[in-house]
Amino acid sequence: MSRMTVPWAPASTTEEHLASWARHRELQKLLFSGGFAGICYPSEYGGQGLSRAHQDAFNDECADYEMPWQITGASLLICAPMILEMGTEEQKQKFVRGAISGELVLCQLLSEPSGGSDLAGLLTRADRDGDTYIFNGQKTWSTFAYAADYGTCLVRTDWDAPKHRGLSMIIVPINDPQLHLNRVRMVNGDEEFCEEFFTDLVVPAENLIGTENDGWTVASRQLFYERQAVGGASPYASGRARNQGFMASVPIDELARSVGKADDPATREFVGWAHAQDVVMEQLVHRVSTGMASGEYPALASAMMRLNHAEIPQQKQDMMLDIAGSLAVLGDAQGDGYLQTIGVNYLMRQGISLGGGSAEMSRNMIAERVMGMPREMAADRDVPFREVRRGR
């Protein structure tokens, strides 16, 4: 493993993406063989069984090294923790151990074209047939599904039950010929998103997580781990190297100096505000995590961290664009792409308030489930799903 030179330009072609995934799997295997993978995961499933303090110390040490941050995303921060909590012993041995060791990569198959916020209104179906389920339907916005081996897929298994009570979470193989996958090009030119079409895809019933038709309980736990990850509080976040990945971070004070605005009063105010927000975010994560662990706050309080990680980074992107001005598009004389990162990041700013559940849905959760305000009106609650009116 080597210290890295900062890659300002993300991989963009399909070949570059595939090469980068091959490298990340290799790095994860190297970490596993060295006893550094899955630091907070239990040792019986391939982890190290150590504490958050050990993980933090490791993260500090490896900040300047090339790390498999793509694998650390949905695979190890969201899907594997959910399987660890809700899966059978066989599922944990296969999927959790597989993810930690770098043998398997997992992705999330939740959102559908009909809408991600109303997740319980999904339309993809899985019909039980003996020891198997037959899948038909479509998923979308699945991050890095093209590089994954399996996806945790929320589907409808009972159309006569109300919408939250007829769902099941089932692990599907991505590389099956009955699953057709397309890459989706984003505004920054990247192709990490995918959409998947299932046509009579046959999946063994042993891949069901939890109980049939109780998939909402399982999905709620997966969404908890996602909010925890997006909110910056996951104990499983390992070796997120500085300046790597989607929206590689550019320190705001470094940016001010590089465009000659270090003495500009308005810019100095931005820099001060940004540093204050970093401290607030850190304290908020600590306070909410401690409150959830002690039972003082419900699990849905994780929406507070998620919301903060939507609002603050977006405001920072806006300020950075102001500081960089036209250089965010034109770049500087060195032509190394450093300043254009600000422009490309700005294009992606809206994604921060959607991925991991939208900022508005986080506000709803905080209002209804943390502050106890009245629930939003839902005409489809308690109505058999097949009778729920929906657009074509």
> Which stretches of the chain bind ligand FAD, using CB under 6 A?
74, 107-111, 115-117, 141-143, 351, 354-355, 357-358, 360-361, 364, 376
Please identify, using beta-carbon distances, which residue of 108 and 238 lies nearer to ligand FAD. Answer: 108
The CA angle 276-255-331, to the nearest 5 degrees, is 150
Q: Is the dihedral of CA 112, 121, 232, 88 positive or negative?
A: negative
Please identify, using beta-carbon distances, which residue of 46 and 215 lies nearer to ligand FAD. Answer: 215
Please identify, using beta-carbon distances, which residue of 109 and 203 lies nearer to ligand FAD. Answer: 109
Between the CA of residue 33 and those of 71, 79, 91, 103, what are the distances in Å? 16, 22, 22, 12
173 — phi, psi (to 5°)? -75, 135
State the minimum distance, in angstroms, from the CB of residue 284 to ligand FAD.
Answer: 21
State the minimum distance, in angstroms, from the CB of residue 253 to ligand FAD.
Answer: 27
Please identify, using beta-carbon distances, which residue of 233 and 271 lies nearer to ligand FAD. Answer: 233
Please identify, using beta-carbon distances, which residue of 296 and 360 lies nearer to ligand FAD. Answer: 360
Of 60, 54, 58, 65, nearest to 4 by C-alpha is 65
Please identify, using beta-carbon distances, which residue of 17 and 261 lies nearer to ligand FAD. Answer: 17
d(C-alpha 90, C-alpha 61), whole Å: 34
State the minimum distance, in angstroms, from the CB of residue 351 to ligand FAD.
Answer: 4
State the minimum distance, in angstroms, from the CB of residue 135 to ligand FAD.
Answer: 15
Please identify, using beta-carbon distances, which residue of 32 and 196 lies nearer to ligand FAD. Answer: 196
Q: Over 153-180, what HEC string results?
A: EEEECCCCCEHHHCEEEEEEECCCCCEE
State the minimum distance, in angstroms, from the CB of residue 322 to ligand FAD.
Answer: 24
Using CB atoms, what's the residue nearest to ligand FAD? 116
State the minimum distance, in angstroms, from the CB of residue 206 to ligand FAD.
Answer: 23
State the minimum distance, in angstroms, from the CB of residue 116 to ligand FAD.
Answer: 2
Between the CA of residue 366 and those of 170, 179, 369, 378, what are the distances in Å? 29, 37, 6, 17
**Which residues are within 8 A (CB) of 335 and not within 5 positions of it... i.e. 6 or more apart?**
none
Task: Look up residue 211 and give its two tokens.
Answer: 């109980």
Of 171, 178, 167, 174, nearest to 208 by C-alpha is 171
Burial class (CB in 10 A: 0-12, 13-18, 19+), 91: middle
Q: Where are the beta strands (DSSP E) in 262-320?
A: none
State the minimum distance, in angstroms, from the CB of residue 92 to ligand FAD.
Answer: 22
d(C-alpha 66, C-alpha 103), whole Å: 19
Please identify, using beta-carbon distances, which residue of 115 and 335 lies nearer to ligand FAD. Answer: 115
Of 111, 77, 101, 81, nearest to 245 by C-alpha is 77
Please identify, using beta-carbon distances, which residue of 29 and 183 lies nearer to ligand FAD. Answer: 183
State the minimum distance, in angstroms, from the CB of residue 109 to ligand FAD.
Answer: 6
Report the residue count for the chain.
392
